[in-house]
Amino acid sequence: MCGIVGLHLRDPSLEPRLGDLLSAMLGQVVERGPDSAGVAVYGDPRLSPPGQAVVSLLGTSKTEVEAALPGVVAFDADATTVVHAGADQLAAALPEATVIGSGEGFAVLKGTGNPVELADAFGLAGVSGWQGVGHTRMATESAVTPEGAHPFSVGPGQCLVHNGSFANHATIRRELRAQGVEFDSENDSEVGARFVAHQLEQGADLEKALRLLCERFDGFYTLLVSTGDSFAVVRDAIACKPALVAETDAWVAMASEYRALDVLPGIENARIFEPEPEEVYIWRR
Amino acid sequence: MATLIDLARTPVRELNQALHAPEAASWRVLNPRGAHAVACGVREDLAVDIEGHVGYYCAGMNQRATVTVHGNAGTGVAENMMSGTVRVRGNASQSAGATAHGGLLVVDGDASARCGISMKGVDIVVGGNVGHMSAFMGQAGRLVVCGDAGEALGDSLYEARIYVRGAVKSLGADCVEKEMRAEHFVELAELLKAAERDEDAADFRRYGSARTLYHFNVGNSAAY
């Protein structure tokens, strides 16, 4: 199981409603993954003020951050602490904390427990922005911890959420480790995120990175991958994990089930389709 | 006059309980909004019209009822149907009519992957295309595809018969094209008529099992 939701807004007038809509979508896929949840939000001025580096952390708190870095803005959202500072600065000041997202214009929030309660704890309904992704997890390959929750954000502004399981994640993790890539969890999906980030670092564009993932990864996957300007969906060759895309002039949305799309304005006139297996779909800002 | 049930106010469980002990012959269901298991397990000669999109397993295990979805259906529509008719006016997601023993499933739009997987006697007519591995391990019944079929059509097929009007991307293990004989034109024309479709049976090709995988044979290992 696991539930995926994502919303890429084309109509700026909807941006104040991003968090409200994403929260409603997330609430429709709780049964698919009741053990933990996470979201990534692109463009909320409170979470990620324009032009400012933002880091999302686990294993610390606003109090600890402010003690270590006086004057830096930080706030807690359930297990996550969002800090308005650069990743290098934080790594030096708080070496024990785990970075779960960094970049400009976006923030990652995750935790364990009921996804609806987590969305409340994140204050998600009040968030604005131009793009958001969310995930409700049913743990299969690793423990229920905030580190094991999705999204996995391991490159600047990038996010990956996954429904399914990778069969050869241990092999690929070893290969990536041999190339110097470090991991935060034993989660199979993190291997997918590290693989995509690694390909992007080496010069592949997002489409190529996802094609390479299809070639290399064995298992079941529906993936929603987002970056600072893109929203992408890809499924494995068997396509046994559900995925629906709905598209209007005002937005593009993806979800595991139709009921998560039904909450969106204008859904009655949307073009709704299931992504084809191993085809990479990308929408750009 | 159909009895109206609004799923915005009535839980699906109450709808299904009402359909299992029906006090009316005709029902209209509003606001399904992607709910799962709408009109499941109905065992009477009822007409149930669902006005909107449904989620998983709509009209599963249907017996005798005529269920019409005026929208799209999620995974497993009419799964394990025994008899009756289920019609989806829009598209159906994966595993439409899976393991169904009888009755007629009509999808006016497209059906995605594994349409009719392990079908055991159901007739399925799809107005548009079907996805990959449709009729996988089909044991009995007929699958009619008025559009195109995806990869591995009829993989590991037993005795289900497949008719396709458009292109077939590839045939699965042990599935072969077969001659359209007079009885097949008659059978197909009856199925199209039952599904209220106006395609010409002469435009279809027939596919079925080559029957080489019925019993395990190590010589076939490359084909499994």
Q: What is the pLDDT of residues B58-111, one digit of tens each?
A: 999 999 999 999 999 999 999 999 999 999 999 999 999 999 999 999 999 999
Chain A residues contacting B via beta carbons under 8 Å: 28, 238-240, 242, 244, 257-262, 272-274, 277
- CB contacts, 8 Å: A238 with chain B: 113
SS3 assignment, position A92: helix
- CB contacts, 8 Å: B74 with chain A: 242, 257-258
Mutate to test the interface with B, among A258, A264, A271, A276 (most CBs of B within 10 A): A258
Determine the average pLDDT of the residues in B46-55.
Answer: 98
Specify the pLDDT at position A30. Answer: 97
Give φ, ψ of A141 to 5 degrees.
-105, -10
CB atoms A262 and B33 under 8 Å: yes
Specify the pLDDT at position B124. Answer: 98
- Using CA atoms, how far apart are residues A144 and A40, in angstroms rounded to an integer? 19
Two structure tokens written together for A1: 């199981």
Query: Distance from B112 to chain A by nearest Cα, in Å?
Result: 8
Question: CA-CA distances (angstroms) from residue A55 to A40, A152, A192, B148?
Answer: 12, 13, 21, 49
- Using CA atoms, how far apart are residues B181 and B13, in angstroms rounded to an integer? 47
Minimal Cβ distance to B34: which of A239, A259, A277: A259
Specify the pLDDT at position B218. Answer: 72
B95 and chain A: CB distance < 8 Å anywhere? no
Specify the pLDDT at position B214. Answer: 78
CB atoms B93 and A242 under 8 Å: yes
Question: CA-CA distances (angstroms) from residue A115 to A118, A122, A128, A132, B118?
Answer: 5, 10, 19, 15, 36
Identity of the residue numbered A180: G
From B120, B150, B151, B116, select the one nearest B136 (Cα to Cα). B116
DSSP state of A131: E
Angle CA A139–A145–A151, to nearest 5: 75
* A74 CB-near residues (< 8 Å, 6+ apart): A62, A65, A66, A81, A82, A83, A84
CB atoms B74 and A242 under 8 Å: yes
CB atoms B113 and A277 under 8 Å: yes
CB atoms B91 and A239 under 8 Å: no
SS3 assignment, position A163: strand
pLDDT band at B223 (very low <50, low <70, confident <90, very high): low
Residue numbers of chain A with a pLDDT score lower than 50: none
Minimal Cβ distance to A259: which of B35, B75, B94: B35
Mutate to test the interface with B, among A25, A245, A259, A279 (most CBs of B within 10 A): A259
- CB contacts, 8 Å: B56 with chain A: 257
> Please, which residues bridge with residue A165 across strands?
A220
Cis? peptide before A151, omega within 30° of 0: yes
- Using CA atoms, how far apart are residues B191 and B189, in angstroms rounded to an integer? 5
SS3 assignment, position A27: helix
- Whether ipTM tops 0.95, in short, is no
- CB contacts, 8 Å: B91 with chain A: 272-274
Two structure tokens written together for A36: 């933990």
Give the residue numbers of A marked as catalytic: 2
Could you tell me where the beta strands, DSSP code E, fall in chain A?
3-9, 36-42, 53-58, 74-77, 80-83, 98-104, 106-112, 131-137, 159-166, 219-226, 230-235, 244-247, 251-255, 271-273, 281-284
B87 and chain A: CB distance < 8 Å anywhere? no
Mean pLDDT rounded to a whole number for chain B = 96
Specify the pLDDT at position B222. Answer: 72
- CB contacts, 8 Å: B71 with chain A: none
Specify the pLDDT at position B114. Answer: 97
Query: Distance from A258 to chain B by nearest Cα, in Å?
Result: 5
CB atoms A258 and B113 under 8 Å: no
